[in-house]
Structure 1
Amino acid sequence: MAEDFEAYRGSVTSTGNDEEPTRQPADVPHEADDRGAGEDHRSLVEDERLTRLLGGERPSEEAARRLADATALVGDEPAARPRRRRAWRRSRRAQQARLDAAERDARALVERILSPFDGARRVAVASTKGGVGKTTVTVLLGHTLASLRDDRVVALDANPDAGTLAHRIERESSANAVDLLDLVGSVRDYYDLRHFTSQAASRLEVIAAPEDPRDTRGITRSDMHELLDRLSLDYTLLLADCGTGVTTAATRAIVEAVDQLVIVTAPRVDSVHSVTYMLRWLEGAGFGDLVADAVVVVNGLREDTGVDVEALMGHFAPIVRTVVAVPWDCDLARGGTTDLGYLRASTRHAIAQLAAAVADGFAAPQRQGPGS
């Protein structure tokens, strides 16, 4: 009933009608978007998505010319030589070819990220140690999928130890996962669920973890299955930001119920050993299918650490489906709210590669967990 959710209404905008929150543009069901109404419209949508992925305006012809001139000026050839018309044309053609190749690569990434699927998909993001960037990877993956795809995307903070996922976006709701669990039987539809979520500009929605240390209620295995099943009725993509390890009841329930695993590790020997142990443990516990289809994220790579990236990625390559390297980014190191637009282009590109790798897994049939 609507009165059950009154305490969590918070800053969810109301129309004056207490039955539903206002349908902001991001809240309107996508069936009403009239997507696919013509090739021109589809092209505009794809161009908008590509611009988001590239992180800005596509270079104009004049910008490309200036960039080509600047490249020639600081390149191996003497600065005077590119002034010759023929050399300038060659430089411009080469620069345009690089721009065209970058755009083709970006479009290919977008096409992979937009891979279709039936039903709903659940993805667990896990790690064996704290401080490796698991929550950061969760929110960046969620931002990318939500901003490019037409699906409703929700990220659930399933960390039992004061998870911080909700602090990575602007908070709209004071509710948390336990509050939702208490009232899950009264939830009728998506608009009831919106009282328990906070939504970022990317359209990603987040459900917070409990933060009151006096609240000693834990989420059991059956509780977690109930939450995941209810959320999957109204969200086609669900990301679960797990606690460290896989032995707690809640995390074990998530592993049982998800379609894919994303495992985050730091580029350190101890972290790599711990993740290898986790993967072997999962194989021995009957989750070999998840391990074989998993994506390992090597997060926070820095050029000055002397880490052999190829060897590190090669270590995991025979065990999992894909390994993605994400560079260190000062805007992520500080924590707090996260926005793709403030990241370095190389970081955005790496997260897009991660989103594409996850979307590649959508081709597999939906995995049948205990609650299915």
Structure 2
Amino acid sequence: MSARSIAILSGKGGVGKTTTTINLGVALTQLGKNVVVVDVNLVTPNVSLQLGLPPTPANLNSVLKGKASIRDAICTHESGIRVIPAGLSILESSEPLLVEYSDVLAPLSEFHDIILLDCGAGLWGNIAKAVRAADEVIVVTNPELPALIDALKSIQMVEKLRVPLRGVVLNRSNGSNYDASTEVIGGILNGYKILGNIPYDKSVLKSAAVRKPVVYYKPYSKAAQAYRKLAADIAGIEYRKSFLELIFGAF
């Protein structure tokens, strides 16, 4: 099996990149894909925190240092998603990264279809190393001018690294006058495809409070449906709403 690795990137923190990564992973898993989410944000990791996973002796940091196998670092959340967390201690992330992510992550291709790399916010350093290890990139942003400008910087970095950019996910869209117009968004993002438009949804906040992905905890919410539509696009599958989605999505 040869896995497809997708780096999920943002120009700034707080736009919902990790939330997008996790929910995309769960939605792809529900579509029958073997998926693993790797937290390559070694400085401020959030995947295990958002999922409520306890600290583990084996994590990405210990793998990078040659102290653990990549297989030993895999955890499974109750939603079915597989995760390789990063170490939460600042001491674990203080050492420079001397190995290539592509070499470390290679064994995952043997038993996964898709590898999602949750990158830190920013542009260079270890983030660039993670991006170079990916087959393609998705940039997550909000439909607000400052976030869009930072997203453009991320896009420019991806272009310099010559890694294919699949497109952009607009997160927390609410259709208000505060959101940038479609024309402005398209102009700032150099015309790159908008892969998904995730609406602002209080169900995401409720799910975060109990440390569960909204696709799993509130499966019929508007945000969950948007994530499933995004997952279907990534998987190359036609998205069709279920009967329950049609009913509950109307409220």
**TM bucket by the smaller chain?**
0.7 to 0.9
2:3 to 120, 124, 128: 120
Q: Which residue of 1 aligns with 2:46?
A: 164
Shift of 1:228: 1.7
CA deviation profile, 1:182-223 (whole Å, cap 9, x unmatched) = 446x74xxxx81x42221233211111111123354462624
Gaps of 5+ in 1: 1-117, 362-372
Q: What is the TM-score of this pair, normalised by structure 1?
A: 0.56
Q: Which residue of 2 aligns with 1:258?
A: 134
Matched, 1:211 2:88: yes
Q: Which residue of 2 aligns with 1:357?
A: 233
Cα contact 1:221–1:252 (8 A) shared by 2: no
1:241 to 99, 103, 118: 118
Q: Secondary structure at the match of 1:215?
A: helix
Q: What letter matches 1:147 in structure 2? A: Q
Paired with 1:299 and 1:327, the residues of 2 have a C-alpha distance of: 7
If asked which structure has higher relative contact order (CA below 8 Å, sep 6+), I would say 2
Cα contact 2:203–2:221 (8 A) shared by 1: no
CA-based RMSD: 2.6
Paired with 2:43 and 2:109, the residues of 1 have a C-alpha distance of: 24
CA deviation profile, 1:273-311 (whole Å, cap 9, x unmatched) = 11112212332x241x513xx220110112445424533
2:152 to 262, 276, 288: 276
Q: What letter matches 1:198 in structure 2? A: C
Shift of 1:170: 4.3
Cα contact 2:34–2:114 (8 A) shared by 1: yes
Q: Residues 303 and 205 of structure 1: is their aligned pair in 2 closer, same or farther, counting only changes over 3 Å?
A: same
Q: What letter matches 2:27 in structure 1? A: T
Residue identity (%): 23
Shift of 1:314: 3.1
- Report how many residues are paired: 232
Q: Secondary structure at the match of 1:270?
A: helix
Larger radius of gyration: 1
Paired with 1:290 and 1:221, the residues of 2 have a C-alpha distance of: 25
Matched, 1:144 2:144: no
Paired with 1:216 and 1:258, the residues of 2 have a C-alpha distance of: 21
Q: Which structure shows the higher helix fraction?
A: 1
Q: Which residue of 2 aligns with 1:134?
A: 17
Cα contact 2:131–2:158 (8 A) shared by 1: no
Cα contact 2:38–2:118 (8 A) shared by 1: yes
Q: Residues 277 and 200 of structure 1: is their aligned pair in 2 closer, same or farther, counting only changes over 3 Å?
A: same
Q: Which residue of 2 aligns with 1:31?
A: none
Cα contact 1:125–1:242 (8 A) shared by 2: yes
Paired with 1:279 and 1:197, the residues of 2 have a C-alpha distance of: 30
Q: What is the TM-score of this pair, normalised by structure 2?
A: 0.80
CA deviation profile, 1:61-85 (whole Å, cap 9, x unmatched) = xxxxxxxxxxxxxxxxxxxxxxxxx
Cα contact 1:160–1:218 (8 A) shared by 2: no
